[in-house]
Structure 1
Amino acid sequence: MKPNVFISLLLLACFHSASVQAKIITPEEFWQHYTQGNPLLVDVRSNEEFIRGHLPLSLNIPYDKIETITTFAADKSQAILLYCRTGRRAEIAEQALNELGYHNVYNGQSYQALLTAMPESSLSPKNKAP
């Protein structure tokens, strides 16, 4: 009987982890999300990295302080676009946001790749709050 319980728990854990998959997107998909609606753009790098350069209209919330996002995104269904230097810190922040109940979260990964792929039209804050 005990092996059956163990196998059941193991299967349950596998299905649960598969249901909360990371939403890693390409730079092109990132900018498509950016132009469709009003997503919250969050740079999860350190303050020092943010000061050296960041995407237009992005907030800086370091990944280890991501729980403070509730100040900016009370609506848990709002799209949130995350990025950092390589994607790892954005992945950690995405997992934390999922645990807080935010499930419309996307990992755009690399700041440099996003900057390179940024369309000209993204420089103007069209459809964005002032």
Structure 2
Amino acid sequence: MKHLLVLLSIVLSCFVFNCKGQSDDKINNISVEEMQLLLKSKDIQLVDVRTPQEFKAGFIGDAVNIDYYSPTFEEEIRKLDKKKPIILYCKSGRRSSNGSEKLEAIGFVKVYNLLGGIDQWKQKGLKVNKK
């Protein structure tokens, strides 16, 4: 009986801690493969948050460049459609993750962040465009 109670308390603890970390966040971290599927949607907005110099060296699909470090970042982001899903990416995922939080805070409905950024995209051997 004691073993059953211990097992039950362990299972319950695991359930509570796993659920605690989950929420209805509007930000979803996605893999390269998941991003490829999302890009097939015509309604998706794709934003590269790297610097203009990084963007010119190579970018994904028909991404628009809105530099996360620019003083006009929030102003430029607000020009996009908050009701349409949006994917942000950067070099490795850090800037886009921070940018995703800002988008959620200003009311974007569905925000995706590419894990590993364009580095992960390139590592998978996928195409990048150049200006």
Confirm or deny: 8 A CA contact 1:66 1:97 kept in the other structure.
no
Tell me which residue corresponds to 2:68: 63
Q: Percent same amino acid among aligned pairs?
A: 29
Normalization by structure 2: what TM-score? 0.68
Tell me which residue corresponds to 1:103: 109
- Determine which of 93, 114, 122 is the counterpart of 2:121: 114
Q: Which sections of structure 2, spanning at least 5 residues, go unmatched?
A: 1-19
- Determine which of 53, 56, 74 is the counterpart of 1:51: 56
Confirm or deny: 8 A CA contact 1:31 1:119 kept in the other structure.
no
Flag the structure with higher helix content: 1
Structure 1, 38-47 or 59-68: larger mean CA deviation = 59-68
Which string of whole-angstrom CA distances, capped at 9 and with x for unpartnered residues, describes residues 75-110 of structure 1?
312011111111000001000000110031100131
CA–CA separation in structure 2 for the residues paired with 1:27 and 1:118:
11
* Structure 1 position 48, deviation (Å): 1.1
Structure 1, 94-103 or 62-71: larger mean CA deviation = 62-71
Q: How many residues align?
A: 105
Confirm or deny: 8 A CA contact 2:50 2:90 kept in the other structure.
yes
Confirm or deny: 8 A CA contact 1:47 1:62 kept in the other structure.
yes
Corresponding residue SS for 2:29 = coil
* Structure 1 position 38, deviation (Å): 2.1
* Structure 1 position 42, deviation (Å): 0.4
Q: State the superposition RMSD in angstroms.
A: 2.6
Normalization by structure 1: what TM-score? 0.69
Aligned partner of 1:78: which letter?
K
CA–CA separation in structure 2 for the residues paired with 1:115 and 1:39:
21
* Structure 1 position 119, deviation (Å): 6.6
